[in-house]
Chains A and B, each alone.
Chain A
Amino acid sequence: MNICVRYFASIKDDMGTGIANIQVDDDITVGNLFEKLTANMSYDGTVLMAVNHVYVDSSYKLRDGDEVAYFPPVTGG
């Protein structure tokens, strides 16, 4: 299935891109996908995850067409 992945702030810098369209296996969780995407870089910071602009936890199962975002804790205000 097709997933749009977005990265922000320091994670965008680490990944070298802000957006990627990828194909993934059915039933993959948002946490598993992040582990796969960062397999070669041992990312150890806190990561927040959102799907279709809503915060989710790492066990959320992705569906075809989802937009998933990975970013560090927010620092606005």
Chain B
Amino acid sequence: MKIKILNEKFDPWQEIVEFKRNELQNNPSIGASSVFLGTVRDFNDEEKVESLFLEHYPDMTEKYLSKIVDEAIKKHKIFDGLVIHRVGELKPTDPIVVVATWSEHRESAFDATRDIMESLKSEAPFWKKEGNQKGFRWVQVANEAAVDNAET
């Protein structure tokens, strides 16, 4: 498992290739690699977005991301998982988050990647602040179910 919080722009594809080569030793039992990549959109709620600032709670973030990936490894019996998440100043098109998992077959890799991403969205302590010509605003959570999940 690898969890990285980065304060500068990164190349998700290079990270994935390096993880598979270095951490998984290109394990020949791997039959499926699943990747989710989140990038900064240039709009939200019909407003233009020119910049995005991401704040996090150091230590708690790593603790929860490790827990989330560990749960996915056990539940879906995947070989391993990688999560990289940006903090700091971002621009539209920049990668925000990459989740990658590796397994024998596609179902478990698809399911593990989705589970990790959904848990990250509701539990990992990150906050987005959008910027445009009108100023800055903290992004509000889209639904209260996410709050309920975070509290359990």
Give the interface of A toward B (CB within 8 A).
Answer: 6, 8-10, 13, 46, 48, 50, 53-55, 57, 69, 71-77
Contacts and interface: CB of A to CB of B under 8 A. Distances in A.
A57 B97 CA distance: 28
A69 B138 CA distance: 18
Contact of B147 (A13, A46, A69, A76): A46
Interface string B123-139: 11111110000000011
B141 A69 contact: no
B92 interface: no
B56 A57 contact: no
Contact of A55 (B96, B138, B150): B150
Interface in B82-135: 85, 96-97, 117, 120-129
A76 B52 CA distance: 11
A41 B35 CA distance: 44
Given A76-B85, A76-B127, A71 B57 contact: yes
